[in-house]
């Protein structure tokens, strides 16, 4: 009933969108580092992820000495065929070409993402140092 889909608002006529809306995916939305995470003092404090099938992208923010540091996030989502937790892999990299990159591999519970992370510190093209740890995120 398209005729009922029009509404009169103060600004004029507005048509309703008949296009099907994509359902939210498991990783879609905002995440924050869990304060109990041993690596909570690491590079990333918050992130917003968007999932399209098995592909994940997003952005995040860490905290430098006195300014926020922006990060790009790319990765993949793999539902477990044996009814176990879904597997998530993320690459976290500074937007400004800074030397910090991290690789996260973890599992997804309804509102928690927990796993291991390898922090890599790059100077030019060679890796000078890497630090491993655990990291967990939760939905705020």
pTM score of the predicted model: 0.75
Q: Is 51 helix (H, G, I), strand (E, B) or coil?
A: strand
Give the model's pLDDT for residue 127: 55
The CATH architecture that domain 20-138 belongs to is Beta Barrel (2.40)
Domain ranges within the chain, ordered by starting residue: 20-138
Distance of alpha carbon 68 from alpha carbon 44, whole angstroms: 10
Give the model's pLDDT for residue 78: 94
Give the model's pLDDT for residue 19: 54
With a cut of 50, which residues of the chain have pLDDT below it?
1-13, 123-126
Give the model's pLDDT for residue 50: 96
What is the CA angle 57-61-63, rounded to 5?
155
């Amino acid at each position: 009933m398209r005729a009922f889909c029009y509404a009169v608002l103060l600004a004029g006529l507005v048509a309703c969108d008949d296009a099907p809306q994509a359902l939210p995916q498991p990783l879609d939305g905002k995440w924050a580092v869990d304060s109990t995470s041993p690596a909570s003092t690491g590079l990333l404090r918050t992130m917003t992820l968007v999932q399209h099938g098995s592909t994940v992208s997003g952005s995040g923010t860490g905290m430098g000495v006195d300014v926020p540091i922006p990060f790009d996030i790319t990765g993949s989502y793999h539902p477990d065929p044996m009814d176990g937790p879904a597997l998530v892999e993320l690459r976290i990299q500074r937007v400004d070409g800074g030397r910090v990159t991290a690789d996260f591999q973890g599992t997804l519970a309804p509102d928690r993402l927990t796993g291991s992370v390898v922090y890599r510190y790059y100077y030019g093209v060679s890796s000078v140092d890497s630090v491993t740890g655990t990291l967990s995120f939760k939905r705020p």
